[in-house]
């Protein structure tokens, strides 16, 4: 994919409208304030407007209303970030792939591996595993028994997929991810914990991306389910029996407790905490660092985090919060007294 492209070709690939010299050669991508001749950039956030007028980029991707401020050729679209994504893909280096199994890989005789699959050094593949066409396993991946990996799925490196997990086609999983580990199921016996067997698996759809060091637990009885098109960032915890609907995107450090159902087309920003056994409707969007403690049954934006403030202000606010219960009681007492006075009149 990497190389040089004419601006007209990038317009075609990105779905944007060309304004300028279609023969201009573009050799790379860069931010507005760092771009130079031969590079393309994008403008999508008004915070960076100060860089637009002075950019040295050969071309900029932007909205129609921002075109008058652009000093160079442009690709015009109502969704600059989407066009930017498509343009950056043109310059992404190709991942080298050589079908075959590295001599240092350990593959059980009962595993089925397509001839076009690529198995790198140090991989371990268990009995009954089925590795589809064009699958790529990077170094030191562990694939458990009866795992299924669909066509075109890529595991970058050092990923653990435990027994019975099913992963669809064209998925991308980043280093350190663990899929199919036991859920946190424990029964208390007079102060001592006894493990509840985790008998389900994990089912992952097509075109799913899973970030580095993200963990997805197997279900207690039924499978944990990640639907088609879901995008999970780094260091996310998905507990047992969670269900995540199609095309939902979840940012880093989010924790989702067991048996929660998240609908389709949702977004959860960084650091969100979701308690167990609740439901989020389709189209729910949760702001960063929010704690979701109840079901959200209507689409929309929900915010529950406390924004950062100067420490002394925070201390004063916390002091007031501690007084709220007493203040509420005093207010009710005053309201009753005022109602009595009004009745006497």
Tens digit of pLDDT per residue, the chain (345 long)? 568 999 999 999 999 999 999 999 999 999 999 999 999 999 999 999 999 999 999 999 999 999 999 999 999 999 999 999 999 999 998 888 889 999 999 999 999 999 999 999 999 999 999 999 999 999 999 999 999 999 999 999 999 999 999 999 999 999 999 999 999 999 999 999 999 999 999 999 999 999 999 999 999 999 999 999 999 999 999 999 999 999 999 999 999 999 999 999 999 999 999 999 999 999 999 999 999 999 999 999 999 988 889 999 999 999 999 999 999 999 999 999 888 887 776
- 62: Cβ–Cβ under 8 A, 6 or more apart, which residues? 42, 43, 44, 52, 70, 74, 75, 76, 77, 80
The rounded Cα 119 to chain-centroid distance in angstroms is 26
Q: Strand, helix or coil at 209?
A: strand
Calpha distance 171→154 (Å, rounded): 6
**222, 240, 277, 311: which is the annotated catalytic residue?**
240
Calpha distance 29→2 (Å, rounded): 11
Calpha distance 299→23 (Å, rounded): 45
Calpha distance 314→307 (Å, rounded): 10
């985090």: which residue's tokens?
305
Q: How many CA atoms lie within 13 A of 194 on its CB side?
A: 4
- 138: Cβ–Cβ under 8 A, 6 or more apart, which residues? 120, 154, 155, 156, 157, 158, 159, 175
Question: Does the domain made of 100-302 have the CATH classification 3.40.630.10?
Answer: no
CATH of domain 5-91: 3.40.1390.10
Instruction: Give pLDDT, residue 222.
Output: 96
Give backbone dihedrals phi and psi of 228, rounded to 5 degrees, phi first.
-55, 140
Helices 7-14 and 80-91: crossing angle in degrees, nearest 10, is 120
pTM of the predicted protein model: 0.91
- Residue 16 is given by DSSP the state P
Contact 39, 26 (CB under 8 A): yes
Copy the structure tokens of residue 301.
Answer: 């934006």
Instruction: Give pLDDT, residue 96.
Output: 82
Task: Please confirm, yes or no, whether 114 is among the known catalytic residues.
Answer: no
């Amino acid at each position: 994919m990497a190389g040089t492209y004419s601006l007209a070709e990038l317009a075609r690939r990105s779905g944007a409208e060309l304004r300028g010299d279609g023969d201009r050669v573009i050799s790379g991508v860069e931010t507005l304030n760092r771009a130079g001749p031969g590079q393309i950039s994008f403008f999508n956030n008004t915070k960076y407007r100060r860089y637009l007028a002075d950019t040295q980029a050969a071309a900029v991707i932007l909205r129609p209303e921002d075109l008058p401020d652009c000093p160079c050729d442009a690709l015009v679209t109502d969704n600059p970030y989407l066009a930017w994504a498509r343009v950056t893909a043109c310059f992404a280096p190709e991942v080298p792939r050589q079908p075959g199994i590295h001599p240092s890989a350990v593959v059980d005789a009962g595993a089925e591996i397509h001839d076009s699959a690529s198995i790198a050094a140090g991989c371990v593949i268990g009995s009954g595993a089925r590795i589809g066409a064009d699958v790529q396993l990077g170094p030191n991946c562990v694939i458990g028994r009866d795992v299924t990996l669909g066509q075109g799925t890529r595991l970058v490196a050092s990923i653990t997929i435990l027994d019975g997990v099913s992963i669809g086609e064209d998925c991308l999983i980043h280093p350190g991810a663990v899929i199919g580990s036991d859920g946190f199921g424990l029964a208390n016996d007079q102060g001592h914990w006894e493990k509840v067997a985790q008998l389900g698996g994990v089912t992952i759809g097509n075109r799913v991306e899973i970030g580095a060091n993200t963990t997805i637990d197997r279900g207690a009885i039924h499978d944990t389910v990640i639907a088609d098109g879901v995008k999970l960032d780094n260091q996310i915890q998905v507990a047992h029996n969670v269900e995540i609907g199609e095309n939902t995107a979840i940012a880093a450090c989010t924790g989702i407790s067991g048996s929660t159902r998240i609908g389709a087309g949702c977004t959860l920003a960084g650091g969100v905490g979701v308690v167990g056994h609740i439901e989020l409707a389709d189209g729910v969007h949760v702001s960063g660092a929010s704690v979701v403690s109840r079901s959200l049954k209507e689409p929309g934006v929900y915010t529950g985090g406390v924004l950062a403030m100067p420490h002394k202000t925070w201390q004063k606010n916390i002091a007031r919060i501690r007084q709220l219960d007493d203040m509420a009681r005093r207010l009710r007492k005053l309201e009753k007294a005022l109602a009595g006075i009004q009745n006497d009149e």
